[in-house]
Amino acid sequence: MRVAIIPARGGSKRIPRKNIKDFYGKPMIAWTIEAAKKSAVFDRIVVSTDDVEIAEIAKAYGAEVPFLRPDEHSDDYATTTAVIAHAIEALGVSDDTCVCCLYATAPFIQATDIEESLSEFVSGQWDYCFTVTDFPAPIFRSFKTLDNGGVEMFFPEHFNTRSQDLPEAYHDAGQFYWGIAAAWSVGKPVFTEKAKAYLIPRWRVQDIDTPDDWNRAEAMAQVLLADNIKKD
C-alpha cells in the first residue's frame, strides 16, 4: 500500500493562509494534490490539517481528509515527523506501508519525480527517499559577517582550495519524502545513511516560507507551470 500525506495547517504566520492562497490560478495546495494524483502511484491521498476551510478545498481537489489534526500537532513547534506519525496512527496503516509526505507549498512537484523516486526507494533497504538539489556555490568557501562589519570564513582551511577540488554539497529540496511507515512512527531521522537522495535540478526548486520566496515562486511559475495552465 502507498499513502500520500500532505501536512497543511491553518496557522501559517509569515504568509497567512499560504496553503490555500491563490497561486497561478489555484489554491496552493491544489498543485501538490494534483501532482500526487497524476503520479497514479498512491492508494490514498490524505491531507492532515487542523483547518476546516483547508479540508474543504483539499476534498474539492480530490484528497481525503478523514480527520482533523489535534492542537498538539498544529502549533509552531510541531515537527513534520510527528505530524506524519500522527496521521499514520489515525489511518491505521501497517508498518511496511510506503508513506510519502508531500509539502502543500511545493507547486513545482513533478509526477514523474514521485514515480521515479518511488522506484529508487523500493530498490534498496531504505528508511527514506527524499528530494535534494545542489548548492549554487561551494559551501566550503562560505563566510559570515561579524559585528564589526568584517567577514569570517566557516572553513578557512579551504581559502586557497579550487572550487573544482571541493566536494559537491546538497540540501533538502523541500518537496516530498518517501518513508516506511515504521520509520515515521518511531521518529527515525531522515538525514542518515539509511536515506536515499533523489536529485532534482535547482531551477525546479523553491521553498516557500517568506513573502520574498512567494514572489520568486510566482516568477518561476510563469515558465514552469505555463504548459499545465494551457492544458487545463
DSSP one-letter string for 190-213: SSSTTEEEEE--GGG-----SHHH
pTM: predicted TM-score of the whole model, two decimal places: 0.93
Return the C-alpha cell found at 68: 482533523
Return the C-alpha cell found at 83: 505530524
Residue-wise pLDDT for 190-201, tens only, equals 999 999 999 999
At 93 the pLDDT is 95
Residue 185 CB partners (closer than 8 Å, separation 6+): 85, 88, 89, 95
Q: What are phi and psi of 183, to 5 degrees?
A: -70, -45
CATH-assigned architecture of domain 2-231: Alpha-Beta Complex (3.90)
Residue numbers of the chain with a pLDDT score lower than 50? 229-232
Residue 102 CB partners (closer than 8 Å, separation 6+): 4, 5, 6, 32, 35, 36, 109, 114, 175, 176
- Give, in order, the Cα–Cα distances in Å from 157 to each of 151, 154, 160: 15, 9, 8
Residue-wise pLDDT for 58-74, tens only, equals 999 999 999 999 988 88
At 219 the pLDDT is 94
DSSP character at residue 232: -
At 120 the pLDDT is 97
At 76 the pLDDT is 83
DSSP one-letter string for 48-88: EBS-HHHHHHHHHTT-B--SBPPGGGSSTT--HHHHHHHHH
Q: What are the residue boundaries of the structural domains of the chain, listed by start?
A: 2-231
